[in-house]
Structure 1
């Protein structure tokens, strides 16, 4: 099938693309992504210090200093024109590997990549994955088909190599959530879904694992239909429960009185790859799938996790999603899950030792002393950053894989507190402490035992005084420099915006870097600094490690982060259409050396879509990204389509994963996304 991107940019009414709150998202995104979290009270009502209180005085002072005393604080967050910086960014060098592209207007229905590059879809929602799964038919979907077809709304993406000169691999990606009104005809809300459609939606959640291959490094990756490792993980896949909370009464249900076997994984967002070759995935906004309006909540546990009836309707076909009927089922979600992509018959695991909250993901590093350390973010306004340290040590070699796959089942759990050190050094920086929650198998939280700390980690952390953060999303260690980077996407709850403090709303978000003291990732103290204050370069409050503003790209709402083989930070965004007026995008952001702070936009995704992933190895000619929720605009439906990505000719948007690369030769014509595919993404052997 020929894949043809539009040759002209489609334009849509501006009103339909206007978000209804400060988070930068469309109303439809808010509904299906997180159950309208920004329209409800913040679950964290503790008196713990916010990160804004740590840095606010220094931000205000530095903003004024950087503006030469010309009243920089009165620069508004609206009307941030990007024309001059965009022109400069378009001419900026991507470390010699690409030429940065200018921002893409938010109404553009194209994938845009740099000159000399092209792109191809690898796999999209509904493509057959498991044996017997039929080809996708948008107008004749079925529950049985969806269980064996690629899931919806890819988020985290990774590639695991398995030989043949690097031209065979396994692709793993999360399937975070669904857009019911776009998936089916005549749906104005989830109440209109039939039981069959509800089951299709549930089956489209989870994770997808597929074999992929290419002819050589100048050709596109394509997925292999009926590949050996191909697998769909969905709402009925069996998961084992590991760690100290396994079997606890709060995890026991009528269907599983042992509390050790859970069906499904929900709202899987970011993730990471372990040194032993498994994939970690975070269960994020799981709260929205449960009906809770008739459930008692005397101790506030449901409220602290934002468990409320969001109208998804899953309880109509599975009573376990009605908290009043099955009060413990909700406790079986909100974990880090581990999947072995090499074995499609293996049972995935939910690790209770890493705590339960709205996990964006988990990423690990092996400390110098051999212990495995996992860093995690709780993606909620005013929630926390966590660290887990394994009890046992990592052992190298395939012969120790069984041992290593138990490392996340037992260990110590900490939560971060940030302290500023003043402006004398001219930086937004300071020190930090990892406050213990569980150490050596003992609880450090008054009034809570170990299992309670791990099942209700948010409430446990509230008691020990960590720092409230602005939506900690991806938190990932850089294996080159050992430092840890956290994307803080934004915080729409910072509504006390005034001209002197434009960052109090934190509309654009930022990235923070943490350095463990003595390079000991198992230690309890660290240093921190802000390395990116996102925004338009013309906004004096934006910060790019001091790099010349004329040569950097605009950016807003950093979400997923990743590192290439050279240790460069890459950032994908979620929310730019509503904050900068641009399509969401992927950026290169060096954090060391003479190019540190030289932010350069590599690609952009179509109208209504979020840029997810990413996976980057430009030396291998591989950049993978996920186009999540293309055309997700209020009012969208199968009869009113705002995007037709991946341009397969069926006229409907299908979220999925694509490969951006340099074709053999000069690759001219790839920069505007035209001719973005040649059908190889169908994966037919």
Structure 2
């Protein structure tokens, strides 16, 4: 694409929010029906909800608020729907998307930090990956998508306890024509952990997809959660590496491999490959934020950009 074409991507079109129906509002990462994380074998089903004052989609909280036929457009223009004021134009909508999502009952997620479309996914089906860093605060909505009464929010709203984060995958109902899909399946492909073992990591942040469809991620929170450095990881999602596959004696499917460890209390952000995949550039952000660091020159800590080059075998 040309620079002009890239800049024009958002000049026209429609804006949608991913509503992960069936997700447990008290956890943000398990299903109400199973009390467990959604898996590839037992996924959740979500919908793309058009956010527009002309949207004919049914508001996710329409049933809970007593008007099953209430459209998103009608709900957004309604000056009292779900205890939130009205939005008269799409320009008003675009300026307050989190509030708009709350108004129509979109399921609150566990702080999505990055999202990447993977047309060459190793599963064989294109997927959309989302990194959920963590969520340890109270929610604005109840399970039905209704805003808690401000007078009782502090005592009634659930406080989520996800300190380690996760990575989810979304598969469109029409993978060959994803822009036309109105529904998707969603499931967890990796869950953070607090340990200090070889495959422990927490708080995924930036995602990176390589030219072969491989999934990589940086973290922002390892240091505070598990007292070891944040890092950059490769997530093995190759189905050939599952237990029971030919030649597999030590299954690595679903495990995160640490590739680059960062200085004290720094975040790995903005990763990018060179075209030949021989070098990864990434930023070392806020080293020494809450713990002493002398990165990178041995004196005061400074953010920086590094390049990691893989040597040929």
Tell me the alpha carbon deviations over residues 143-172 of structure 1, each in whole angstroms, 9 at most, x when there is no partner: xxxxxxxxxxxxxxxxxxxxxxxxxxxxxx
Q: Distance in 2 between matches of 1:406 and 1:485?
A: 24
* Residues 603 and 494 (structure 1), Cα distance of their counterparts in 2 relative to 1, 3 Å cut: farther
Structure 1 residue 643 corresponds to structure 2 residue 293: yes
Q: Distance in 2 between matches of 1:645 and 1:584?
A: 14
Paired residues of 2:53 and 2:90 also in contact (CA < 8 A): no
Q: Shift of residue 428 of structure 1?
A: 5.7
Q: Shift of residue 607 of structure 1?
A: 0.9
Q: Partner residue of 2:76? A: 446
Q: Partner residue of 1:429? A: 43
Paired residues of 2:229 and 2:266 also in contact (CA < 8 A): yes
Q: Matches of residues 398-547 of structure 1 in structure 2 within 5 Å?
A: 402=4, 405-420=7-22, 422-423=33-34, 427=41, 429-438=43-52, 444=73, 445-447=75-77, 448=87, 449-481=89-121, 482-493=126-137, 504-519=160-175, 520-522=177-179, 523-536=181-194
Structure 1: segments with no counterpart, 5+ residues: 1-274, 279-401, 496-502, 539-549, 635-641, 667-685
Tell me the alpha carbon deviations over residues 470-524 of structure 1, each in whole angstroms, 9 at most, x when there is no partner: 11110111131321111110112269xxxxxxx9511101111101111132221
Q: Partner residue of 1:340? A: none
Secondary structure in 1 matching 2:93: helix
Q: Matches of residues 313-462 of structure 1 in structure 2 within 5 Å?
A: 402=4, 405-420=7-22, 422-423=33-34, 427=41, 429-438=43-52, 444=73, 445-447=75-77, 448=87, 449-462=89-102
* Residues 632 and 620 (structure 1), Cα distance of their counterparts in 2 relative to 1, 3 Å cut: same
Secondary structure in 2 matching 1:453: helix
Paired residues of 2:43 and 2:186 also in contact (CA < 8 A): yes
Q: Shift of residue 467 of structure 1?
A: 0.6
Q: Distance in 1 between matches of 2:226 and 2:267?
A: 14
Q: Partner residue of 2:234? A: 588
Paired residues of 1:411 and 1:439 also in contact (CA < 8 A): no
Q: Shift of residue 582 of structure 1?
A: 0.5
Q: Distance in 1 between matches of 2:191 and 2:162?
A: 9
Secondary structure in 1 matching 2:287: coil
Tell me the alpha carbon deviations over residues 525-557 of structure 1, each in whole angstroms, 9 at most, x when there is no partner: 11110111110469xxxxxxxxxxx9x610011
Q: Distance in 2 between matches of 1:661 and 1:439?
A: 49
Q: Partner residue of 2:309? A: 661
Q: Shift of residue 458 of structure 1?
A: 2.2
Structure 2: segments with no counterpart, 5+ residues: 23-30, 57-71, 78-86, 140-158, 242-252
Secondary structure in 2 matching 1:438: coil
Q: Distance in 2 between matches of 1:585 and 1:509?
A: 15
Paired residues of 1:416 and 1:466 also in contact (CA < 8 A): yes
* Residues 563 and 410 (structure 1), Cα distance of their counterparts in 2 relative to 1, 3 Å cut: same
Q: CA RMSD in A?
A: 3.0
Paired residues of 2:21 and 2:45 also in contact (CA < 8 A): yes
Paired residues of 2:168 and 2:187 also in contact (CA < 8 A): yes
Paired residues of 1:564 and 1:616 also in contact (CA < 8 A): yes
Q: Matches of residues 37-52 of structure 1 in structure 2 within 5 Å?
A: none
Deviates more, 1:437-446 or 1:484-493: 437-446
Q: Matches of residues 262-301 of structure 1 in structure 2 within 5 Å?
A: 275-276=1-2, 278=3
Q: Partner residue of 1:573? A: 219
Paired residues of 1:430 and 1:529 also in contact (CA < 8 A): yes
* Residues 465 and 441 (structure 1), Cα distance of their counterparts in 2 relative to 1, 3 Å cut: closer
Secondary structure in 2 matching 1:407: coil
Q: Shift of residue 411 of structure 1?
A: 1.1
Q: Distance in 1 between matches of 2:263 and 2:280?
A: 17
Q: Partner residue of 1:94? A: none
Q: Shift of residue 451 of structure 1?
A: 1.5
Q: Shift of residue 590 of structure 1?
A: 2.3
Q: Distance in 2 between matches of 1:436 and 1:566?
A: 32
Moved over 3 A (4+): 402-405, 420-428, 439-443, 616-620
Q: Shift of residue 618 of structure 1?
A: 9.3
Q: Distance in 1 between matches of 2:309 and 2:76?
A: 54
Secondary structure in 1 matching 2:289: coil
Q: Distance in 1 between matches of 2:15 and 2:304?
A: 34
Q: Shift of residue 617 of structure 1?
A: 5.4
TM-score by length of 1: 0.32
Q: Partner residue of 1:652? A: 300
Q: Distance in 2 between matches of 1:620 and 1:469?
A: 32
Secondary structure in 1 matching 2:119: coil
Q: Matches of residues 559-570 of structure 1 in structure 2 within 5 Å?
A: 559-570=205-216
Secondary structure in 1 matching 2:178: coil
How many aligned positions are there? 239
Q: Shift of residue 407 of structure 1?
A: 2.9
Q: Partner residue of 2:250? A: none
Secondary structure in 1 matching 2:104: coil
Q: Which has the higher helix share?
A: 1
Q: Considering only CA atoms, is the larger Rg found in Structure 1 or Structure 2?
A: 1
Paired residues of 1:572 and 1:586 also in contact (CA < 8 A): yes
